[in-house]
Amino acid sequence: MNPSLSRLDKEQKRLIMIGGKGGVGKTTCASAIALHFSLQGKRTLIISSDPTPSLSDIFEMEIGDQETAIKDAPNLYGIEISSEVVLKKWKERFGPEIFEIVSSFASLDYDFVDYIGGAPGIEEEYMLNYILELVEGGQYDLVVWDTAPAGHTLRLLHLPQIFLKHLEAATKFYMNLYSYFEKLKDTVKLRKGKRSLLEIISGWEDLAEKVVRFIRDPQKSEFIIVTIPEALGVKQTERIVQDFDDYQLKVNHLIVNYVVREADCEFHKQRREMQQNYIKILQDQYSGRIQLTEIPLSPREIKGVERIKKISDILFG
Ligand SMILES: Nc1ncnc2c1ncn2[C@@H]1O[C@H](COP(=O)(O)OP(=O)(O)OP(=O)(O)O)[C@@H](O)[C@H]1O
Ligand SMILES: [Mg+2]
């Protein structure tokens, strides 16, 4: 029997993240999982941060970067968020504070914020904040996040930690500056009524910590990895699970997609044999720790609510 994801029915997860390497069926699984919960009456948002819009394809309608009701699926909403939009949101959220900090000791244009916003990793860093805002905004019971392919997701998970490290260094730096200004108080007048630099920075720190706490909270967040029964899939899964372990994030479910069930020709018989070999390896590797749920290879691509529903039924048994 194919173990199912039905455990999740009894839990009240707020965020489900779907990860895995490119092309393994992440968007398909994320859509099927989101559809499943929306049909249970949960207001569900599926969010794709893939640079190439994919939800529009699978749901056969234009979705884009605004929360959009999915046709033929009550309670289900979708959004495809591009890095430009995330960067814009980052600027709206942090721009004024960064400017406040910098302009208190240097005379600079607001353009400076654009300059900082151009630093690599900013948008990924903000993505998690943005998702948390959506989760906590109260508009949705559940957010399902179809992440961009491969290592990208893991980089995202590392970021709050890296961010905190940066902040630590930055805080020390500003402390020094601050005491310097304190000493010069009489000669250099800091504008009145402003929050201290440390107050602003500790606000950022709180935010980064909140994100880390949330994604580590097994009551609220769930990570599901999608893979394929091939050597590459086994290797990549190993790496992802290891990385998650390092960050104290637990993976409970692994979806093995494109499994050949019936083989009525030599070609498919060989493929099935090859796949079964890797499924066995995955089972041995994770037995008792991570549950494996298989999705059979379908003769057709998975498009439209009706076919996605079939995948939901397979996943939730
Ligand atoms: N079990 C399946 N049987 C047949 N086709 C499938 C199955 N699962 C997914 N597909 C098809 O495979 C293609 C890739 O799936 P999907 O877009 O979900 O992968 P992805 O991991 O999101 O890819 P990317 O990394 O590019 O975002 C799609 O055309 C989808 O319809
Ligand atoms: Mg995808």
**56 CB near ligand 1 (under 6 Å):** no
User: What would the two tokens of residue 205 be?
Assistant: 């720190």
Spatial CA neighbour of 68 closest among 55, 86, 52 = 55
- Alpha-carbon dihedral of residues 283, 286, 292, 296, nearest 10 degrees? -40
Give pLDDT tens digits for 288-311.
899 999 999 999 999 999 999 999
Residue 313 to residue 308: CA distance in whole angstroms: 9
User: What would the two tokens of residue 260 be?
Assistant: 């050949």
Query: Are residues 271 and 260 in contact, defined by beta-carbon separation less than 8 angstroms?
Result: yes
Task: Give the residue, out of 147, 302, 311, with the most ligand 1 atoms within 8 A of its beta carbon, to mutate for a pocket test.
Answer: 302
Task: Give the residue, out of 27, 55, 256, 305, with the most ligand 1 atoms within 8 A of its beta carbon, to mutate for a pocket test.
Answer: 27
User: CA Rg, the chain, in Å?
Assistant: 23
Determine the average pLDDT of the residues in 139-161.
71
pLDDT at 11: 93
Give pLDDT tens digits for 162-192.
555 655 565 566 556 656 555 555 444 444 4
pLDDT at 173: 61
Sequence-ordered list of residues with C-beta below 8 angstroms from that of 134, at least 6 positions apart, any chain = 45, 47, 140, 143
Give pLDDT tens digits for 253-275.
999 999 999 999 999 999 999 99
- pTM value? 0.86
Residue 192 to residue 96: CA distance in whole angstroms: 17
Which of 23-32, 68-77, 119-128, 213-222 bottoms out in mean pLDDT, i.e. has the lowest?
Answer: 119-128
Q: Return the bridge partners of 47, or none.
A: 79, 145
Among protein residues, the one with the nearest Cα to ligand 1's atom 6 is: 301
What is the DSSP code string of 96-148? Answer: HHHHHHHHTTS---THHHHHHHTSTTHHHHHHHHHHHHHHHTSS-SEEEEEPP
Sequence-ordered list of residues with C-beta below 8 angstroms from that of 242, at least 6 positions apart, any chain = none
**27 CB near ligand 1 (under 6 Å):** yes
Task: Give the residue, out of 50, 301, 312, with the most ligand 1 atoms within 8 A of its beta carbon, to mutate for a pocket test.
Answer: 301
Cα–ligand 2 centroid distance for 58 (angstroms): 9
Determine the average pLDDT of the residues in 236-262.
90
Mean pLDDT of all residues belonging to the chain: 83
Give pLDDT tens digits for 99-131.
776 676 666 677 766 766 666 556 666 778 888
Query: Are residues 36 and 312 in contact, defined by beta-carbon separation less than 8 angstroms?
Result: yes
pLDDT at 162: 59
User: What would the two tokens of residue 122 be?
Assistant: 């900013």
**258 CB near ligand 1 (under 6 Å):** yes
| Residue with tokens 């979708």, as numbered in its chain | 78
Query: Are residues 261 and 233 in contact, defined by beta-carbon separation less than 8 angstroms?
Result: no
pLDDT at 193: 46
**Residues with a beta carbon under 5 angstroms from ion ligand 2:** 26-27, 50, 54
Q: Return the bridge partners of 292, or none.
A: 254
User: Residue 49 — very low, low, confident or very high, per pLDDT cuts 50/70/90?
Assistant: confident
Q: For the beta carbon of residue 280, count every other beta carbon within 10 angstroms.
A: 11
pLDDT at 118: 64
pLDDT at 250: 87
For ligand 1, what atom is nearest to the CA of residue 149?
25
pLDDT at 190: 47
**295 CB near ligand 1 (under 6 Å):** yes
Q: For the beta carbon of residue 219, count every other beta carbon within 10 angstroms.
A: 9
Among protein residues, the one with the nearest Cα to ligand 1's atom 26 is: 23
